[in-house]
C-alpha cells in the first residue's frame, strides 16, 4: 500500500482532474429532433448538437474525436490525472450530450481544465492546420475563465506544434489561436476551457493523418504535452 501511495504521489499529474469532451456523437444524425432542440448556450440558445463533419471518404469527425480523446485519456491517466469524459461511447444508437451539458461538465467537481476535441470541415481552397479556440472575455459568462483559458490555449498550441502539426492557414491571425463568444461548450464553463480543431478533415493530406492510428497518436501526444505544460 505504501509503495502504491508513493508511486501515485510522484506522478506528474497526480491530484489533477481533466475533463475531455470528444466532439459530437456518431449517432447524432439518427436523432435530428433531439440534436436540433434548442438549449442554453450562454445568454442565448443554440441547437443541442450537430452531426459534425467527415473526411471526403466518410470517416466521421465524431469517431476521430473519440479515438483521439481515448488515447489522450490513457496518456493523462498514466501521468496520474483523474480524467472525466463527457461521453462514454461512440455509437450509431446514441446522441449528444447537448452543448449545455458539455459546457457545464467539470464545474461541480472543480476540475482543473476541460478540452473539447474536434476536427474541422472547411471547404476553403488549401485550408489546413489546427487551431485552438478560447472563450471571449464576456461578463458574466466567461470573464472569470478568460485569462486562464488563453494560457491553456497557448499551452495546447505549443504541444501540438511540438508534435509537428502546423497552425491553421485559414483562421484570422495566423497564430493558431482563436477567440469566440458563440460556443456553449466554452460559455457555460467555470473552469479553464478550450476547443481544439485538430485539422481540416476535408484536406486530403490531413485526412490521411487523421485516419491513421499513428496520426491520432501524434495528436494525443501533442495534446497531452500541452495539458501537462498548463498544469505545471
Residue 197 among the catalytic residues:
yes
Choice among 61, 67, 197, 206 that is catalytic: 197
Nearest-angstrom CA–CA distance, 141 and 131:
22
Q: How many CA atoms lie within 13 A of 101 on its CB side?
A: 15
Q: Are strands 131-135 and 193-200 parallel, antiparallel or unpaired?
A: antiparallel
Contacts of 140 (CB under 8 A, 6+ apart): none
Buried residues in 11-48 as b, exposed as e (16+ CB within 10 A):
eebeebbbbbbbbbbbbbbebeeebeeebbbbeeebbb
- Let me know: does 185 contact 22? Beta carbons within 8 Å: no
Which residues are marked as active site? 197
Amino acid at each position: 500500500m505504501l509503495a502504491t501511495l508513493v508511486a501515485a504521489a510522484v506522478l506528474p499529474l497526480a491530484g489533477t482532474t481533466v475533463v475531455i469532451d470528444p466532439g459530437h456523437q456518431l449517432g447524432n444524425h439518427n436523432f435530428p429532433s433531439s440534436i436540433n432542440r434548442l438549449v442554453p448556450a450562454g445568454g442565448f440558445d443554440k441547437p443541442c448538437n450537430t452531426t459534425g463533419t467527415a473526411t471526403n471518404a466518410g470517416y466521421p469527425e465524431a469517431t476521430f474525436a473519440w479515438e483521439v480523446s481515448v488515447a489522450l485519456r490513457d496518456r493523462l491517466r498514466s501521468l496520474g490525472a483523474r480524467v472525466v469524459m463527457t461521453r462514454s461511447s461512440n455509437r450509431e444508437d446514441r446522441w449528444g450530450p447537448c452543448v449545455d451539458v458539455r459546457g457545464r461538465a467539470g464545474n461541480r467537481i472543480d476540475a482543473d481544465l476541460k478540452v473539447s476535441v474536434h476536427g474541422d470541415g472547411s471547404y476553403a481552397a488549401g485550408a489546413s492546420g489546427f487551431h485552438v479556440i478560447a472563450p471571449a472575455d464576456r461578463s458574466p459568462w466567461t470573464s472569470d475563465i478568460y485569462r486562464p483559458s488563453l494560457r491553456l490555449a497557448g499551452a495546447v498550441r505549443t504541444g501540438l506544434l511540438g508534435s509537428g502539426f502546423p497552425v491553421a492557414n485559414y483562421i484570422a491571425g495566423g497564430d493558431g489561436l482563436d477567440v469566440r463568444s458563440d460556443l456553449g461548450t466554452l460559455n457555460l464553463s467555470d473552469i479553464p476551457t478550450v476547443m481544439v480543431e485538430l485539422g481540416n478533415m476535408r484536406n486530403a493530406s490531413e485526412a490521411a493523418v487523421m485516419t491513421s492510428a499513428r496520426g491520432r497518436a501524434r495528436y494525443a501526444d501533442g495534446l497531452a504535452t500541452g495539458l501537462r505544460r498548463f498544469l505545471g
